[in-house]
Amino acid sequence: MDWDIIHPVLDLTFWDNTVQAWLIAFALFCVAYIGLGFFKNLIANRLASLAKRTVNNVDDFATELIADIRGFLIAAIALYIGSLALTLPKGPTHVIQALPILALLLQSVFWGNRLISFGLDKYLNSIQDEQRRLGTQTMLGPMKFVARLLLISILVLLALDNMGMDITTLVAGLGVGGVAIALAVQSILGDLFAAISIIIDKPFVVGDFIVVGDFMGHVEHIGLKTTRVRSLGGEQLIFSNSDMLSSRIRNYKRMNERRIMFRFGVTYQTPLKQLEEIPGIVKQIIDAIELARFSRTHFFSYGDSSLDFEVVYFVLSSEYDDYMDTQQAINLALFKQFTDAGIEFAYPTRTLFVTHEGESHKEPHLV
């Protein structure tokens, strides 16, 4: 190759830099881009090998952070290195110098998302109690959203400040605008803060069976604005979070056991001896049921057409189906035991005393 032909070409000037300077800058860019990419992969592979020999997941997370370095960050750094071989005007120089910082801020969004998810998921996995885990899992979604929103807001402000914008006026303007927006959407913000209160205080979590006023069902979803409950009839009930906090909520899932009281009556013709045996019969029936704990049985009162007994026992489960199965078993056993013992359940009756004309005695008739 004839150097006398190439040399004049290399001395040609474009935008105050010779072709030779541009070629050197391009070579520096290529070397830096390839070298940084190779170094990134080398570190990621070394960390991955180390992570396989350890039991903790911190080094796994570090490996993911290194592997998550995006190409635009490497390209911005390589572009800055290549520009060092050039003499550029003040404007382009400022832009090229700002690019790596802006790229790093954008990369921080991806790193921050991973860090937020890693920290919250690690905390969730450390919880052993199942009910507490469900409550924490409910709050993870809103917490991730708020954390990511704060992260992006801070990084955008830093990026604007790095570009030379006066963010003091912008922050002040955002403050005034924020007040106006808050007044316009105060109902939405009320539901948002109510969601935060539900998440922190945990009056209920996903999966709980709750009663709100005249409505009842299982909690399916707790969102930033609404809470959704699946009713026993199958339809989905949607409550605003602020309405939920202003209502009286009965949470049946939090019951360790369910107290049950029921009454039954036997006929007035029941002998005294059988009346005295009834509390023992009831206790024997309830003690034989696995999910039931006997409390008491008493001859409660004299009814209009029955001798009334009151029974109290506890179902050792919060599930409504367990309660109904237990009560059914008690009712069937009572019916069988009373039939075998000759004890009759009472039913509405009325006694009429009829006096025949000319007779001095009254003859009772049951109706």
Out of 45-49, 104-108, 352-356, which region has the weakest mean confidence (pLDDT)?
352-356
* pLDDT score, position 312: 96
Q: Model confidence at 326, in pLDDT bands (50, 70, 90)?
A: very high
Q: Which pLDDT band holds residue 1 (cuts at 50, 70, 90)?
A: very low
pLDDT of residue 288: 94
Q: Residue 48: what pLDDT?
A: 81
Lowest mean pLDDT among 68-82, 89-103, 132-146: 132-146
Check pLDDT > 90 for residue 277.
yes
More confident position, 48 or 227: 227
Q: Are strands 236-240 and 226-231 parallel, antiparallel or unpaired?
A: antiparallel
CB atoms within 10 A of CB 194: 20
Confidence of residue 331 (pLDDT cuts 50, 70, 90): very high
pLDDT at residue 26, rounded to an integer: 87
Confidence of residue 327 (pLDDT cuts 50, 70, 90): very high
Q: What is the pLDDT of residue 241?
A: 87
Q: What is the reported pLDDT for 185?
A: 56
Give the integer Cα–Cα distance in Å for 249 and 256: 17
Mean pLDDT of 317-325: 87
Report the pLDDT value the prediction gives residue 149, as an integer from 0 to 100.
75
Token pair for residue 138?
Answer: 């409910």
* CATH entry, 258-341, from 3.30.70.100, 3.40.30.10, 3.40.50.300, 3.20.20.210: 3.30.70.100
CATH of 186-253, one of 2.30.30.60, 3.20.20.80, 3.90.1280.20, 3.40.50.1820: 2.30.30.60
Q: Which one has a higher pLDDT value, 120 or 237?
A: 237
The mean of the pLDDT values for the chain is: 80
What are the extents of the domains in the chain?
3-126, 186-253, 258-341
pLDDT tens digits along 4-31: 555 555 556 766 777 777 788 889 889 9
Q: What is the tens place of the pLDDT at every residue in 206-260? A: 888 899 888 889 888 887 788 899 998 889 999 988 888 888 888 887 778 889 9
186-253 shares its CATH topology with 258-341: no
Read off the pLDDT of residues 157-187 as tens digits, 9 standing for 90 and up: 776 666 666 666 666 666 655 555 555 556 6
Neighbour count for residue 242 (Cβ, 10 Å): 19
Better-predicted residue by pLDDT, 271 or 129: 271
Question: Is residue 266 over pLDDT 90?
Answer: yes
* Beta strands at 249-251 and 209-212: parallel, antiparallel or unpaired: antiparallel
∠ at Cα 39 (36, 40), nearest 5°? Answer: 85
Q: What is the pLDDT, as a whole number, of residue 148?
A: 75
- Helix then strand count (H, E) for the chain reads 11, 12
Q: Higher model confidence: residue 223 or residue 316?
A: 316
Residue 345: per-residue pLDDT = 93
**Contact indicator for 285, 334 with CB cutoff of 8 Å:** yes
Question: What's the CA gap between 344 and 332, in Å, rounded?
Answer: 14
